[in-house]
Each structure stands twice: as structure tokens, then as C-alpha cells.
Structure 1
């Protein structure tokens, strides 16, 4: 066994959906040691070493957390919120996602950290694609909301900081991430399907890219050391685009509850949703958003290790276990 100490890697957002997956993966690697970047001291000690980094802000001091770290995986963010109640959401997003990120990255460069992996969002590219089109990593960004704009501005600031300091920056833009423990809209779909609720989504002919958490984590870990990843932007996806109708059918099969889908016209659904003030929800259900991962494959030699159906089965099983009576 080697006497070389494991490389310490700071993971921000370590208790979140993606960050916790990164921590779990790093914890089983003998040559890497995850360090949890937490906002405050945990009430109960976590399984792994942790360091307080405070709220994601322009002025918090992260120097102690960064001491001795080889790399940072920056998953923490002010996340996208539909119908954001903030009077000025862009200012709030910029404070956390732009100024807070650059503050952390600047201190990382000063601490001698060699690589900074930034989990961005496909919303930097835009909100939707044509049914036969796909976003690419090198296409001109067209963020459509405050969250997407804040992520794009953070990317630009990180790349400029890289030129200034030599810090290697890797940017990863995922679409919707799912997997065991997923919440929000994906969990709602599983709840509807499990209850046998008829859904008017049986004739949606869109195409949407998703990424299983296991696949995204695998890509993040590869980007920690792959020499060709430095100062690159990569898109992440499962490589198997699905329509909303097909996703619900496969997810129903995974749950053991065949989806009860009514073939309502997409245009009618979008009209009804607009009248109810839910246009954004309808756009996600009926519109297309496809991601081209050819650059990720070619530059890194990466293939998603987990198939969509396997990931859906694992997600469904975790959901079933969570709903069992205690």
C-alpha cells in the first residue's frame, strides 16, 4: 500500500443532491479524501472531515477550509426557483453564484489549489431547443433568466481568473439531474404515477436530455485529474433523449405502476397552463431541451456508465423505500 497521503478535495454543497453524491464517490477512492465545505458547524459530526466556509457570499473567509486542498468541486449555489419571491432575484443570484463563487475561487488560487470544478447549468445555453436541435458546449450562451445569467457570469469570471492566476477551471453544465433521493418535480412525477393518477401527457413528442446523478458524479471525478479537462466547458447528459411521454412510461415501469397517460394535444396543455400562470411548467413538460455531449466524449473519452433505465430503476426503488411505513 502506498504511503502517499490521499489528495484532499473540498466539496461545497456537500450535503446537497449532487454534492453528497460526489462525497460518497470520493470516500471510496483510496487516493482522494473529501472535505465537506459546510455553511456552519453540523449538529452531529458528519462521517467525513468538514470545514466551515460560511454562506456563499463575496466576503466569507475560506482560507482555512482550502488549506492543503488539491482541488475544489463547487456544487453550492443559490439554486433556480420557479416563481421566485425575491423582489430582485438577479441581485441575490449574483451575490451567491457570481461574487460568492469568485471569492472562493480567488482564495483557492491563493491557497495553491490546482483545479476548480464549477457545476454550472444548461440554463446558460438557454431554455429550450428545437425538436431536432441540441445545445453544444461551444455554442453562444443565451441564458433566459436570472439564475442562468448568474451562472454564465460566474463562468466568465472563473475563466478570466484562470488566465490571471493559472488556476485550472473546469465548467460542467448539466440539465435536470435525477437519481435516488431526487426531489422537486421528478419526485412529484413518481408520486402521481404511484397513485395511478391519470396524466394528460400521453401525446408529447418533445425530446429532453436528463443526467443521472451517478453519471454526473462520474464525469466530475474524471474531470478532477484528466489533463485535457483544464479550462474547458463540458455538457453532461445520459446520451439517451426522451419525450415526456416516454419518460413517464419508463418511470412507471420502474415503479411497477404502468403510467395512465391520456393523449391530450400539447398545444392545449400549454394554453391551459398559461391561463393558470404555469407557463414555465408546461414548457418543461412539452418543450424540447437536448444536450450534445460529443465534446465531452471526444475530449475526455467519457461515456455515461449508467443507462437511463438502470438509473430510473434505482431512483424508483429509493422512492419506494422512502414511502414505506416506518
Structure 2
């Protein structure tokens, strides 16, 4: 059986090809990546010419940053590759995955031969696990694209009733430590982390798999040796060690996201859409298909690119990343219809 590859944001080349607007004119708000990335230093020529260095310092920095010194942690070439390969580490079974969420999860488990069952609410998920309708569970926290957050008590309930493994994708979780699955027992839990979103280093392709679970350890073996480039190891280590920058960046993201939400209220009211969730890196507007599509078309007219719903989603939505210049966004919004 063949499966269609999922669609993603960041596909600005598609927008350029379809709409004929040059690259430099677009305001790309389709990815959810922080528009203010960690400042990348200049690297020596030696860092490019030699094999990547050992990852011990990177691992120590990650364990300190995530507060998991007593857990197994391994770097991965981005959390996306970990998602794609993790399902292969389990014997074929059944897995619960959010109906609206990062599509690569369902895609990976299907490719590995597992039965995928979708859930729309935490109540439906709890019903699955309490009746043994599924063996494994995937939670995206906060969810991409809805921004919904599963609380720690609910995660614990899922874990208590799950026969297999709880996999929690926390790619957008850096601003939500209190709901992190890292607060749960590690033996049945695998947590996926990424430095691409909060740190704005998506191009480095660095993530982490965390949890005292044999599947995590088997997956980590696939990434040795030299799965991360020398520059990626260097910049990721610096970013994870720089607590002053992290604190400042958290405050800035929270402040800017609140300003952006106030701007989006005007947009959502004009198009009869509802703002849901808040990852501090993106907001998602939900509503009738005709209203979502009209907003998408109007934004394209002023060269704003966003991420739209998938064909099989039960609801219609438009995800909008935090822009690097809210005033520029406001100016373009004002031009719609003029």
C-alpha cells in the first residue's frame, strides 16, 4: 500500500510558483519557527573540514536544559527523522494519533505497518486506552496546528491506562515545562524534543529522544556515528548552554505573541473565525471552509503565506506563525481590499 506524503509549512517555493510573487516580497508565516533565532557565530574552517566532534558536551547541555540528568537522552538529526524511524522500533500493533496534528506521526506508523486510530479529544483517547483498543499512544503537546495542550494529570491518566508506550512530541514545548511528559515516569514514555522551533534553528536539524525505553535506545543506535554535522553540534550546544538568551527569548516570545493575538482578533472577527490555542509561536484560526479559504486568498494577495488545513481534517483551519515584524503584518492586512 502506498501513502501520500504529508504536506508541510515552509513550502514558499510552491507559493512563488503558483502565484508568481517573487521570494523577497513574501512574508512567510507558514512554519511556526521562531522568527528570532539564536545568533549563530562564525565557524572556523576546521569545523567544516573535519569529521563532527563527539556529542558528549551537546548531550550534557541538553540534559541540563531539559532537566533530565538521570534519563537516557540521545541527539537526533532533527525530531522529524526520529518520528519517521521510531515506529520501526516496535512490532506491528495499533497506535492512537491526533486526528488534527502533525501528519508525519500517522504517516510514519502506517509506513511501519501499524494500525492507526485517530482521536479528536482527550476523552476519546482515554476511552481507547481504557478498553485496550490501542497499544501505543502519540500525543503532540502543544498540538501543531491546534495549539491545544494536554495537561500533566491527563497525560498521567493516559500513561496509567496505556498497555504500550506513550510518545509525546514536544517540538513546541519549550515554553510549557509544567505540562512536559518529562515529569512522568520514563520507562513507558518517549519524549521528542527539537531546537528548531523555540531556538529558531530549524536548519541545524537537531532534536533529542528522551526516555528510559529500549525503543529509544535502539533508535539512537541508528544515528551513530556522525549523524549530526560539526556546525550543528556547535551551535546547538551554545544555544542550550545560553540560559541568559533563553530567558530573554521566552519573555520576548510571550510579549510578541500577545501583541500578535490582539492583531489577529481583528482579522478573526472580520472573517468570522475563532482563534484557538497559543503555542507562543503560532495561532490557528478555525471556522467555516469558505471563510478560511477567503482569508487564505486575501492574505496571498498581499504576499502573506500561511499553512492551511489538510484535505481529511474534520475542521477547517489556517495556522499563522508569529511574524518577525507585526507592524509589517498590520500594514499588509490594512491593504486587503484596497
The TM-score by the shorter chain falls in which range?
A: 0.3 to 0.5
TM-score, reference length from structure 2: 0.32
TM-score, reference length from structure 1: 0.33
Give the number of the structure with larger relative contact order, counting CA–CA contacts within 8 Å between residues 6 or more apart: 2
